[in-house]
Amino acid sequence: MKPAMWLCDRSVSCHPRLVLTPSVLWPFLLATVLLSLVPGPATALVIRSGATVGLLLTMPVIAGMEIGVYGWSLAAGAGIAGVVAASPAAFTALKVAGTLVLAHLGIQAWRSAARAPHEVRATKPGGWSGFATGAVTNIANPKLMVFCLAFFPQFLPVGVNPFIATAVLGAITVVVDIAYYALLAALATWARGVLTRPKVRTAMDRTAGTVFLALAARTATLTR
């Protein structure tokens, strides 16, 4: 066992404590899997990317999204996310950034729906472009910050180092997310023959655009 996994509760005794006990691990895994299945901007982004550019070029998008997830989980463990949430100016700045990012994705999806099918297929974002889109989508999402602040503390055993424990739980979340989104992207890639048909693609892009714009409006009204 790595030393980082053993944390000492000095207020009681100096016996090492295991972070990932079954009583913590299994409820956390169940909650994480269920939350991954809840549709959101990440789901829409992965399906749209998988249907458009395929699984391989969607992986950088997923990697970027998970950088955002893990970044906010570490920030929550370090208390930084709490400071941002408590600061009106910082929270407003993050909320505005998140609103603009989601609105931009929504407008892009609606513009994509209006293009001719051959023009849509010709647009294949590079790896770094997809990575940046995924990362910005989650890093600038204040709802994700609030979620990390509320979610991870529920699974922290008494007496552990909150930063290390949250880092471990955040890593598990990232692994679960990557597995789910990769499967989702693979299914979208497999069905791309159907999903890229003009009528289906138009409907899918309009739906994704509406989801992003609705989330942008909801983010704009988010309060601490």
Q: What is the mean pLDDT of residues 198-218?
A: 78
Q: What tens digit of pLDDT does each residue of 97-152 get? A: 878 877 887 887 787 767 645 454 545 555 678 898 888 888 888 878 888 888 88
Q: What is the mean pLDDT of residues 193-219?
A: 77
- Per-residue pLDDT at 175: 96
pLDDT of 3 > 60? The answer is no
pLDDT of 184 > 50? The answer is yes
Q: How crowded is residue 182: how many other Cβ atoms within 10 Å of its Cβ?
A: 16
Q: What is the mean pLDDT of residues 156-176?
A: 88
Q: What tens digit of pLDDT does each residue of 58-103 get? A: 999 999 999 999 999 999 888 887 777 777 887 888 888 878 877 8
Dihedral of alpha carbons 205, 211, 217, 222, sign: negative
- Per-residue pLDDT at 10: 43
pLDDT of 166 > 70? The answer is yes
- Per-residue pLDDT at 6: 35
Token readout for 97 is: 């950034």
Q: What tens digit of pLDDT does each residue of 6-57 get? A: 334 444 343 334 456 777 788 898 999 988 888 777 888 898 888 888 899 9
Nearest to 28, CA basis, from 171, 161, 145: 171
> By the 8 A CB rule, do 45 and 134 touch?
yes
pTM of the model: 0.74
3-state SS, residue 50: helix
Q: What is the mean pLDDT of residues 148-166?
A: 84
Buried b (16+ CB within 10 A) or exposed e, 114-127: eeeeeebeeeebee
